Amino acid sequence: MGKTPHVPWTARHAWLVVVVWVVLVVAAFPLTIRVTRDLQAQNLDVNGSSAVWADDQLGLVQTTPTAQPTLISGLSASQLSEDASLLRIPATWLDPMSGGTLLLAPSGTSAATVAPLLSRAQAQGGKTTVVSTNTISHTIVHDAETTLRSSAVIAIPVLIILLPLVFGAVTQSLIPLLIALLGSEMALAAVSILEKYMTLSVYLTDITTFLALGVGVDYALFITTRFREALDRGVPVAEAVGEAMQTSGRSVLFSGLAVTLAVSTLFLAGTSYWRGLAVGGAAAVIFVLLLTHTLLPALLRLLGPRLHWGTIRFNMQRWPLWQRLAGWSTWRPWLSVSIGLGLLVLPALLGPSISVTMPANLAAMLPTASPLRVATALEQKIDGPGSISPLPVALQLPTTVQEPATWETVARITTSLAALPDVAQVSSPTRSGASPTALAELASSASSDGQLLSFISPSADPHLVVLVVTAQSGPNANATTGLLSNIQQVLHHDVPPGGRGAVGGAIGVLHDFTQHTDARLPWVIAAAAAVAFVVLLIATGSVTQALLGVLLDGLVALATAGILVLTIQQGHFGLGAEPPNITVTPLIFVLLFGLSMDYEVILLHRIQEALRRGASPRDAAREGIAQTGGMITGAGLLLVDVFLVQLVSPLEILKTLAIGMTAAILLDTWIVRSFLIPGITSLMGRYAFWPWGRRLTSAS
């Protein structure tokens, strides 16, 4: 007879726990429905970077409002042309396009010039939309909100269908769904509070929601399955709850801590964007852990045998496939390992060629048929590819703008910039033909010279001069990135000692973010791998299994990168060819290291239970796969459903997340757990659990 399991406090006071959670959920609901109010589409500033400094200086210059590109919809192009003629606005400024007409005035045109036409269009029922970074950002926020709603509409019904097939009973399948939904709600409520004090990305809503749904279903699946097994053996309800929590509950705790710590490694990336994802992801898992270790045992205690209601005989956990696969993979270990490695190595060969980036042209993140994206492309066609995202250059010189020496330096820098490859135009006061002395005199009475005031701010900083470089190529082109580097070299050589020069704007900020992330990413991945190693070591007591788990996770990560190269980067299977987005791709690999611990710990704990009963490593591996194979692969399919519905999003970044997480989960559950772990354990025998294996009483 084994030791009687301890009944958890939450099971002994089940109704109190349920009431407390009802109060918390009701209180959190108003916060949840407001979650996207203060989120941002792009918050990629690197504190202390040169681009952030440049943008701060640019904010000191007071520019005259100019006419911005505006999309006018709801009115015919001919009607707008007639109105423009009446208002003495050139009809050539109007360009018909799908979805409306683009009003594109020449650079420098006053906003007051086109205001009458826009007002008239609105009065006639037309809609005017400024084609700008802010407008596109708001559109991305809206699309993210739409994705959250539409994907949930798809994911939850699919989960309702899949859950009984995985769990084997209707009632049992509803409990994990409840835990997952409550975990998602509480996590979003936490994000709603945190967004007032931290800069958080709008993508966090989707990531947090579906991470909570995924791990919530998985964790509840593991615990309720163990509870049902105990009931089937005739264990009393209260003791069955205790057994489930002491076994699967312990495994879930290790798994949840692994995911939380793995996501928290994003703090090492050192920017507000990554810190926000770390906080949101960790909040999702923490709330799920709280629910699975408090509310779930209380519900199991109250339901008891009623959890069997609606039993489905044909379910994944009873399929004979897992018993057969377990027997085959342990008795043919060399073949099993060879097949598993082959299936991972083939895509892993493409992994090193992955190239991640972030589009400086935010419109490229919108669907190809989006009017804003079409309008942006038309603007580039008319004014040049680089017109939508110029490169502002902030110069802080040792002399003031009232001194001719300043303008001699500015003239020299302007000439150097204009001579660079891929430069279409350099906007600078020195291009007017005025002498340095004349410019210094104008600066002394700058209040009377509006044109010069768009480049300087004598009252805020008399040492500041702003230039604007327009590239010939588009903001996402490699040539523009090369131009940015060349500009930085010019500033390094031509700015006098004691001065400073830097490039701001979207291109400068994204360049700094990409460089910063590239430099920190190896540390993030190393930290996630270290977390996986330590958690596995503590959970299993085996150095061998901890090391093996990290190595296999690394191979799965390379294979996942290869699949992203094939689908996203090379554009196969109907997707547009573009580099995976740097703002989401590292998250995929971090989540992989964390989520793989779920299945690893559950499987290894089952194998170790058999080893403690005296089974050989080969028999223990076979028993572990037979008992958990259907549960682990079923849980993987449920998690895939949660992430795969992100493909409904019009945003490429969320499609990248969907494909990456789907590939990682399927490779981990179907290949690593089904072929590699049982095969390697059988080959290594008791050394597979060294040094814990020293305490085994049976030989392999």
**For residue 700, what pLDDT is reported?**
35
Rounded distance, CA 558 to CA 535, Å? Answer: 22
Which tens digit of pLDDT belongs to each residue from 75-101?
Answer: 898 999 998 898 989 988 999 998 889
Q: Of 152-161, 360-369, 398-407, 537-546, which gets the smallest average pLDDT? A: 152-161
Both structure tokens of 332: 């043919």
Q: Of 558, 559, 535, 557, which Cα lies nearest the Cα of 546?
A: 535
Rounded distance, CA 188 to CA 352, Å? Answer: 35
Please name the fold of domain 9-41+135-362+511-695.
Answer: Multidrug efflux transporter AcrB transmembrane fold (1.20.1640)
For residues 358-380, give the mean pLDDT. 84
Q: How confident is the model at residue 25 (pLDDT cuts 50, 70, 90)?
A: very high
**For residue 27, what pLDDT is reported?**
93
For residues 523-544, give the mean pLDDT. 88
| Pairing label, strands 94-97, 100-103 | antiparallel
For residues 535-556, give the mean pLDDT. 89
Q: What is the amino acid identity at position 19?
A: V
Rounded distance, CA 281 to CA 188, Å? Answer: 10
pLDDT > 70? residue 500 = yes
Residue 94 contacts residue 77 (beta carbons within 8 Å) = yes
Rounded distance, CA 665 to CA 640, Å? Answer: 7
Residue 362 burial (C-beta neighbours within 10 Å; 0-12, 13-18, 19+): buried
Q: Of 46-50, 447-451, 631-635, which gets the smallest average pLDDT? A: 447-451
**For residue 340, what pLDDT is reported?**
93
**For residue 627, what pLDDT is reported?**
80
Q: How confident is the model at residue 67 (pLDDT cuts 50, 70, 90)?
A: confident
**For residue 3, what pLDDT is reported?**
58
Both structure tokens of 350: 């493409």
Any idea what DSSP says for residue 367? -
Q: Of 156-170, 403-417, 597-611, 630-644, which gets the smallest average pLDDT? A: 156-170
CB neighbour list of residue 191: distance below 8 Å, 6 or more residues apart: 35, 200, 204, 205, 208, 279, 280, 283
Output phi, psi for 398, to 5 deg: -70, -25
For residues 394-398, give the mean pLDDT. 94
Rg of the Cα trace of the chain?
Answer: 30
Q: How confident is the model at residue 115 (pLDDT cuts 50, 70, 90)?
A: very high
Q: Of 17-26, 158-167, 260-269, which gets the smallest average pLDDT? A: 158-167
Rounded distance, CA 518 to CA 498, Å? Answer: 30
**For residue 698, what pLDDT is reported?**
39
For residues 148-161, give the mean pLDDT. 73
pLDDT > 50? residue 268 = yes
Report which listed range, 268-272, 424-428, 616-620, is most confident: 424-428
For residues 160-188, give the mean pLDDT. 80
Q: What is the amino acid identity at position 268?
A: L
DSSP 257-292: HHHHHHHHGGGGG-SHHHHHHHHHHHHHHHHHHHHH
Q: How confident is the model at residue 4 (pLDDT cuts 50, 70, 90)?
A: low
Rounded distance, CA 533 to CA 397, Å? Answer: 52
Q: How confident is the model at residue 692 (pLDDT cuts 50, 70, 90)?
A: low
For residues 36-57, give the mean pLDDT. 76
Both structure tokens of 211: 């991470």
**For residue 317, what pLDDT is reported?**
58
3-state secondary structure 532-559: HHHHHHHHHCEHHHHHHHHHHHHHHHHH
**For residue 40, what pLDDT is reported?**
55
For residues 401-422, give the mean pLDDT. 94
pLDDT > 90? residue 350 = yes
SS3 691: strand
Q: How confident is the model at residue 209 (pLDDT cuts 50, 70, 90)?
A: confident
For residues 491-504, give the mean pLDDT. 93
Both structure tokens of 564: 């992203």
Alpha helices in 349-386 (DSSP H): 371-383
Q: 29 or 627: whose pLDDT is higher?
A: 29
Please report where in the chains the tokens 């995911």 appear, as a residue.
Answer: 259
Q: What is the mean pLDDT of the chain?
A: 85
Which residues face 94 on adjacent strands? 103
SS3 96: strand
Q: Of 387, 450, 377, 381, which Cα lies nearest the Cα of 110?
A: 450
> CA of 18: how far to CAs of 23, 175, 185, 454, in Å?
9, 13, 16, 63
**For residue 697, what pLDDT is reported?**
41
**585-612 vs 505-540: helix axis angle to the nearest 10?**
0
Q: 384 or 41: whose pLDDT is higher?
A: 384
> CA of 670: how far to CAs of 600, 621, 636, in Å?
12, 16, 8
Q: Of 78-92, 434-448, 668-682, which gets the smallest average pLDDT? A: 434-448
**For residue 538, what pLDDT is reported?**
86
> CA of 594: how far to CAs of 276, 591, 666, 680, 685, in Å?
18, 5, 15, 22, 27
Q: 307 or 100: whose pLDDT is higher?
A: 100
**For residue 699, what pLDDT is reported?**
37
Peptide bond into 392 cis (omega under 30): no
Rounded distance, CA 181 to CA 472, Å? Answer: 50
Q: Of 363-372, 423-432, 519-528, 641-650, which gets the smallest average pLDDT? A: 641-650
Rounded distance, CA 299 to CA 291, Å? Answer: 11
Q: 605 or 394: whose pLDDT is higher?
A: 394
Q: How confident is the model at residue 339 (pLDDT cuts 50, 70, 90)?
A: very high
The domain limits of the chain are 9-41+135-362+511-695, 70-130, 364-510
Q: How confident is the model at residue 452 (pLDDT cuts 50, 70, 90)?
A: confident
Rounded distance, CA 361 to CA 290, Å? Answer: 41
Residue 148 contacts residue 209 (beta carbons within 8 Å) = yes
* CA 329 to the chain's CA centroid: 36
For residues 514-524, give the mean pLDDT. 88
Q: How confident is the model at residue 385 (pLDDT cuts 50, 70, 90)?
A: very high
Rounded distance, CA 83 to CA 117, Å? Answer: 7
Across 232-261, b (16+ Cβ under 10 Å) vs e yields: eeebebbbbbbbbbebbbebbbbbbbbbbb
Rounded distance, CA 624 to CA 678, Å? Answer: 9
Rounded distance, CA 78 to CA 216, Å? Answer: 57
Residue 401 contacts residue 456 (beta carbons within 8 Å) = yes
pLDDT > 60? residue 38 = no
